[in-house]
Structure formats: structure tokens, C-alpha cells
Amino acid sequence: MTAHAPIETALDLRHQFPAIAGWHYLDSAATAQKPQAVIDAITNAYGRDYATVHRGVYERSATMTQSFEAARGAAAALIGGTVGEAIFTRGATEAINLLAQCWPRGDRNRILLSTLEHHSNIVPWQLAGYEIDVVPLTDNGEIDLDAAECMANESHALLAFAHVSNVLGSVLDAKRAADVAHKIGAKLLLDGCQAAPRLTVDVAEIDCDFYAYSGHKLYGPTGIGVLWGKADLLAQMPPYQGGGAMIDRVTFERTTYLDPPARFEAGTPHIVGAIGLHAAIEWTTEIGLDRLEAHESALARQCRDALREVEGIHLFGPEDSAGIVSFAMEGVHPHDIGTILDDEGVAIRAGHHCAQPLMDHLGVPATARASFAAHNDPSDIDALLRGLHKVKRIFG
């Protein structure tokens, strides 16, 4: 069986990814492979261009500072923000931890999350002492905003939802979520890890208050991410960590801090990570996020259609998922599926995907997950199907 139907929105980009030659990589929801343009930008930044930022008075330091701040501007512009609203973090995980620790909640000590959240949007709130209320899902795996509207009240400091689920690929009605939050005087954080690489995001149009995303899922390097926040809200927040680069004046008696975003970026930043992220943003922007979304969504639909023809496969999530297809095979643990597929040169994710509450909701310990990116094409689906038929032969 082959997935041979043409995809009208197909992209031909596999040759730009040196790490996947001869390999069917279907795990981009975990981390994206890097196009040569990003690899070259990182190499040059560590080589001919390298210097520290913000401190040096010599020319190369000034040039690297310009490049670093240009990356901040690009990171903000990608989601419709402005440069002074983008904080560089080590990733979306640190971005959410920063907000959980720094947001001045007052007497509001509760947060509204959903059943499908990633652990990185659960554990930081627990560590910060919030009481969690959980919004259920609709029958097709979307966050039930009708239920959220009924549950939200003035004890909630924030609502924090995944813009796109990392397991189900379901897409949140983000603008309505913002309305629900603001109606009760709360703020909205969107976890954009799975959305930023494939959706056109406009935080002003959505009217969310905070947005977090990671560089490595956006074809950029690991160790770099972004917390975007409305400028007036960031100004209300105290620092998360202390050190160099975030201070105005230090004495042994008292320290004053710079305005955001510098206030939240103690120490030497991940300079090259920011430059690599900038290259990744330029690369995706040149292709067009609308084209990327159409390409990945088409592959996901084709994959779901093909999997329905494999006996014993159970699919999770909505039909129109954002480049992600999660499934289970009757009588076979997802880890066994992943191991056999690996022998066939196919890389998928198998496990709970850092979403154990969602697994409990689905009634399974784990799922297998195929996730699509710019470099994928129908040959990857063909290879996945061949591997799954081998799984069936082995397990009878």
C-alpha cells in the first residue's frame, strides 16, 4: 500500500536538511531538523563573527550586539509583537516558569488549564503554588471553551492553554480564549511551541497577554526560546533571576533593575542561539507559514486516511490536525512500534509525550505519534505504512 495521492501544496525541501538523508523523520513535534541555512548561520556566528554582546566597546562586539537585538526583533515580529516585548529564554519551558514565578497574582491563586496541556504548562504552576482547575475537551479533542467560560471566575489569575496540542494537533480558538480570560479580569498565556512553526500568529489580533515558543521546534537551535508579553504587563513583573546585564545600579544595600526585556535576561545570553533562531525565522518566513501549514496539514490528512486502512489502528484527535497524527495499534505497545519502525529507517515518537493527564483522559498509557514538517513528503507516509505492516506481521 502506498500513499500516492498528489499533494497540491507540496514543498520540495528535503535536500536542504543534511541530517535526514536516507531517513524518514516524523518527529518534528519533539524537535525539528535544521536546514542548511540555519546550520551555516550558527557556524558563522561561532566562527568568524563571534564576540560577546552588550558589553564590549570594540567593533565586533557592537556588530554582534546588533545581530542579537535584530534576532529579538524578528522573534517578536514573527508573532506580531514588538521588539521590547520579547524576552529570550532557554525555551518555552523556562518562559512559562518565568511567568509562573513573576506574575503578580495578588489574591488570585488559581489558574485554568486544559486536559491536553504539556507538562511544561502544568508543573511550573504547581511549583509556583497555584491551584489548578482543568477544562475538559470536546469529543474531537479540542479545548472546550464553552466549559472554560463557565468555569472561569475572579479567583483565576491566568488561563494558560496550548495553541496547538503536541499530541492531538488540535488548534485552539485563541481569540475566544482571550475573551474568556479578559471577561473575568484574568490574563491569557498561549503555549505556542507547536503553533509558531506552522501557523501565522498575530498576538495583537488574538489579544493574548503572553505567548511562549521554542526555537528548536521552529528549525532553530536548542536552548533558545521566547516569552512575549504585553509591555505594560512585563513592566509589572519583578526579575526572575539576578546577575549581570539586567541591572541598573548595584550596591550591597540595594539593586535596581533595567526595564524589560533586559530585566529578565541575567548573565551572558545564548548569543548564537538567538542568531540561529533569527536564521530559522527568516527561512520559514521566506517559504511562508501559510504554505508550511497547508503542506503539513495535507500530509497529516493523507496519513490519517492511510492509517484507517491498517487493521487495528486507533486514531486520536481531530480530522483537521496541525501536522500531528497520534495513534495506537491494538495489542502492541507504542514503544514496540517505535523500535520496529526505527529498524525500517522511520523515526516517530512513542510514549506519553509529556502529557500524562491527556493519556489518562484517552485511556491509554502512551501513543505513537507521527509529526510532519517542511521536509516531509508522501514517501515518509509510505515508509510508515510499510513499517506498520511489519509490526503487524511480527505481533500477529
For residues 371 and 303, give the distance between their C-alpha atoms in angstroms, rounded to a whole number.
10
**Residue 335: what are its φ and ψ, rounded to 5°?**
-65, -35
- This prediction's pTM: 0.96
Residue 10's pLDDT is: 74
**Domain spanning 288-395, CATH architecture:** Alpha-Beta Complex (3.90)
d(CA 85, CA 229): 5
Q: Is the pLDDT of residue 1 over 60?
A: no
State mean pLDDT over 284-302: 96
Average pLDDT, the chain: 96
Over residues 229-270, the pLDDT tens digits come to 999 999 999 999 999 999 999 999 999 999 999 999 999 999
The C-alpha cell 504585553 sits at 230
Structure confidence at residue 306 (pLDDT) = 97
Separation of alpha carbons 385 and 309, rounded Å: 10
Residue limits of CATH 3.40.640.10 in the chain: 38-286
What is d(CA 118, CA 147) in angstroms, rounded to the nearest whole number? 20
**Do the beta carbons of residue 368 and residue 347 sit within 8 Å?**
no
User: Catalytic residue positions?
Assistant: 354
Whether the pLDDT of residue 3 is over 50: the answer is: no
pLDDT of residue 55: 81
Percent of the chain with pLDDT over 70: 98
Class (C level, CATH) for 38-286: alpha beta
Burial class (CB in 10 A: 0-12, 13-18, 19+), 276: buried
pLDDT one-digit tens code per residue, 12-32: 999 999 999 999 999 999 999
Which helix (H) or strand (E) segment is 328 a member of?
strand 324-329
Residues of the chain with CATH 3.90.1150.10: 288-395
Q: What is the pLDDT of residues 72-103, one digit of tens each?
A: 999 999 999 999 999 999 999 999 999 999 99
DSSP three-state, residue 43? helix
Q: Which of the 8 DSSP states describes residue 317?
A: S
Is 29 within 8 Å of 317 (Cβ atoms)?
A: no
